[in-house]
Amino acid sequence: MGYKSKLFAGVASLSLLAAQAFAAGSTRLEIQSAWPLTLPASGASAEHFAKQLEVSGADSLKVRLYSAGKLVPSLQIFDAVQQGTLDAGYTSPLYVAGRFPAVQLFGGVPFGPDALEYVGWIYNGGGLDIWREIYAKQGVVTVPCGIMDSEAGGWYKFEINSIDDLKGKKIRFAGLAGEVMKKSGASVVLLGGGDIYPNFERGVIDGTEFSMPAIDAAMGFEKVAPYYYLPGWHQPAAITELIINKRKWDRMSAQQHALIENACKDTMLWTVTSTSVANSEAIEKFKAAGTEIKSFPPSVLAKFKSSTDEVLKEQSEKNADFKRVLDSLNAYREEVALWSKNRS
């Protein structure tokens, strides 16, 4: 074999070895969303994240994304990720509030921070560090991966003129707001997204909160409930998360971690800006369908606020992690309060 042939053969061998080494360092992530991928913001954000990761990760990270319920029920995503039967899930911390009360403060707080303040606390006020410490005990890593603007106050088959109108009603709510609704006399039911409409239609529940108008429009709630309340006192902003099995995460490289983190940050910006027009269009759609757009009376909001204060106090007394997270959030909000009040 001539010199050039040997040279070319050597270069080819090195290229093959490099390709094999790169392939050996690549990672496949199977991710299930808690929401249908066709759903604006929440489901669509999962798709946006997966596409961003495919582009930025090239051959280093390969993603297979499943819609809600394809592998496990939405409310069992955390368990599947924890056990390692699912690599990762795109979900809400509110869905595990019953087991880990503190993490619901990362999913949305009644009368809490708006989207900008929330992100500020997560990345600059120590919020993410505490969040990850709590999940680390469960063998799970969290990455904030979407933030939505204020949700709607919900859909109801009855008018809410006083707090007494909620007594005895079965209402789908999640997280801290669900505890507030219990104090208002409602019977609270936690349902995954795909289970809400059929239960609403059959009269199993009398009301539901779900999300912002653009997402609610995709669910078709205007067909089964005549009253829509705005705005949402229970979630001025809502964070969605990517949760990854910790053993899987630890086997990935620092570069792969950075690719995931950056794709999620991009998704957070995309999510919060993706539905402004669609929200307005959805409200017009509801009006055209005969929906009555309502506001909660001041007396009802005042009761919700006082009940929220009670719930936060009770949860802090029962759970040290909850108190730690709430203290961190409140300290950050107090620190930025002067600017927050005067920036508009």
Is 210 annotated for ligand binding?
yes
Per-residue tokens: 212 = 């912002």
Instruction: Flag whether 222 is marked binding.
Output: no
For tokens 């595990």, the residue is: 96
Close Cβ partners of 289 (under 8 Å, ≥ 6 residues apart): 222, 223
Helix 127-136 and helix 320-335, axial crossing angle in degrees, nearest 10: 170
- The reply, when asked if residue 284 is annotated as ligand binding, is no
Strand order in the sheet with 88-91: 61-66, 27-33, 88-91, 238-245, 140-148
Output the CA–CA distances (angstroms, integers) from residue 264 to 53, 139, 252, in the order listed. 9, 20, 16
The answer to whether 209 is a known ligand-binding residue is yes
Amino acid residing at 28: R
Residue 172 labeled ligand binder: yes
Separation of alpha carbons 110 and 176, rounded Å: 7
**Cα–Cα distance measured from residue 175 to residue 93, given in angstroms and rounded to the nearest whole number:** 9
One DSSP character per residue, 53-75 reads: HHHHHTTTEEEEEE-TTSSS-GG
**Burial class (CB within 10 angstroms; exposed 0-12, middle 13-18, buried 19+) of 266:** middle
Residue 162, both tokens: 């006083």
Extract the tokens encoding 224: 């089964």
Known binding residues for substrate: 151, 172, 209, 235
Known binding residues: 151, 172, 209-210, 235
Known binding residues for Na(+): 210
